A and B are shown apart, each in its own frame.
Chain A
Amino acid sequence: MSPTFVELALIGFVLVAALGAALLRDLLASIIAFAAYSLGISIIWVILQAPDVGLTEAAVGAGVMTLLFLLAIAKTARPSEERLFERPGPGAVLVAGLFVLVMAATVPALPAIGASDSPVVSGEVTEHYVENAYEDTEVKNAVTAVLAGYRGLDTLGEAVVVFTAGIATLAVLRREEFT
């Protein structure tokens, strides 16, 4: 299956935005590039038929994280830069390049998007969820059925992690209440 024009354009956009976020020296520009990257990735998630993840990425990555970063640079110094781009050292380029190579080497092994014979779809666990989720939990969204039903304890852990992050920020900034 060859990628469509929209997919190629999105991948190109995400790559450029990611490089911009990493290499732009100006912090504000870097944050904006990071937000653009998140937005591009969230659209890719939707194309890959993972709307739940796409929603999270758009709301958290492109929305809230950007705002928190902006607040952070507004609260700290934003040095004025003469150069537009960072000049990474040869060691950093080598390590990053090798990492990209290793990751890219796994791409040909991935199944095609939506392939019915991919290990995830034909796996025993997935089949059990798809067949029994509605009868067991009475919700139509299998993702929710797994999150709040089958894997409820894990989700409680996740929720507590979010809660703890809030408390930890309070502790670090030596405040006793959120507002």
Chain B
Amino acid sequence: MSDVPEETEGGLYVESTIIMTTVRVVAPFVLTFAIFIMFHGADSPGGGFQGGVIAGATLMMVAFAFGIESTRHWVNGGLVAALAGGGVAVFALVGLGSVVLGGSFLEYDVYPIYHASKYGIELVEFAIGGIVAGVVIGLFFVIAAGFDHAVSEEAER
């Protein structure tokens, strides 16, 4: 890496057919595994935090194979923010909703749903997964852009 003289856009990127093909084959399975960990965390090791990180790592794999800048254009920025912000909102609403219905915070049983506790925990795990996946993806792109990105954008204004 030290022989790369100047950091330009995608300067780190080396196009490799092997990596692109491998990622194309592996990525769907990794994402499936992430969702499995997220939803099956209630009955086996795992949960929202771990599943969210693995889901975020899937996108990093894609960025590794196809270039960070082209992945940045491909990814919907609003979706990443919605995952993170929406996750917090869903978690807080599920918790406060039970207070509104007369229980204490996150007392799932007050929801008039079949197996409310089980599905409530699944929903909360999914919300956590969204937060973690969104933030991990966000941190990746923000750090990849670095400070110079912000400065150059400010100069354009």
B88 surroundings in chain A (CB, below 8 A) = 159-160, 163
* Whole-angstrom CA separation of A175 from B151 in the bound complex: 9
- A174 at the binding interface (Cβ < 8 Å): yes
A139–B121 touching, CB < 8 Å = yes
Among B2, B43, B56, B77, chain A packs the most CB atoms within 10 A around the CB of B2
Contact with A along B59-93 (1 / 0, CB 8 A): 01000000000001001110011001101100110
Closest B residue to A79 using CB positions: B2
List the B side residues contacting A141 at CB < 8 Å: 41-47
Kindly provide the distance from the CB of A94 to the nearest chain B CB, expressed in whole angstroms. 34
Q: Which residues of the other chain, A, contact B127 by a CB distance below 8 angstroms?
A: 159
Asked if A148 contacts B43 (CB within 8 A), the reply is no
Segment of A12-20, A32-40, A49-57 in the binding face: A49-57
Complexed CA–CA distance, A144 and B149 (Å):
40
Chain A CB within 8 A of B101 CB: no
Knowing A56-B50, A143-B47 are in contact, say whether A28-B132 is a contact too (CB < 8 A): no
Q: Does B131 contact A (CB under 8 A)?
A: yes
8 Å CB interface, A49-100 against B: 51-52, 54-56, 59-60, 63-64, 67-68, 71-75, 78, 80
Cβ B47 vs Cβ A147 within 8 A:
yes
Is the C-beta of B146 less than 8 angstroms from some C-beta in chain A? yes
| Interface pick from A3-11, A122-130, A165-173 | A165-173
Interface of B, helix, strand, loop or mixed by DSSP: helix
Q: In the assembled complex, which residues on chain A have CB atoms less than 8 Å from the CB atom of B134?
A: 166, 178
Q: Counting CB contacts under 8 A, is A153 at the interface?
A: yes
In the complex, the answer to whether A71 meets B140 with C-beta atoms within 8 Å is yes
Contacts of B140 in A (CB 8 A): 64, 67-68, 71
Residue B35 at the chain A interface, CB threshold 8 Å: no
Give A74 to B80 CA distance when docked, in angstroms: 24
- Of chain A, the residue at the smallest CB distance from B75 is A179
Cβ contacts under 8 Å, B139 to chain A: 68, 165-166, 169
Q: List 9 other contacts, CB 8 Å, given A75-B7, A139-B118, A159-B131.
A: A54-B45, A56-B49, A59-B50, A159-B132, A165-B139, A169-B139, A173-B146, A175-B153, A178-B80
Interchain Cβ contacts under 8 Å between A and B, 16 examples: A55-B37, A59-B50, A63-B57, A64-B57, A68-B139, A68-B143, A71-B143, A75-B147, A137-B108, A138-B118, A141-B45, A144-B41, A149-B106, A166-B84, A175-B142, A179-B77
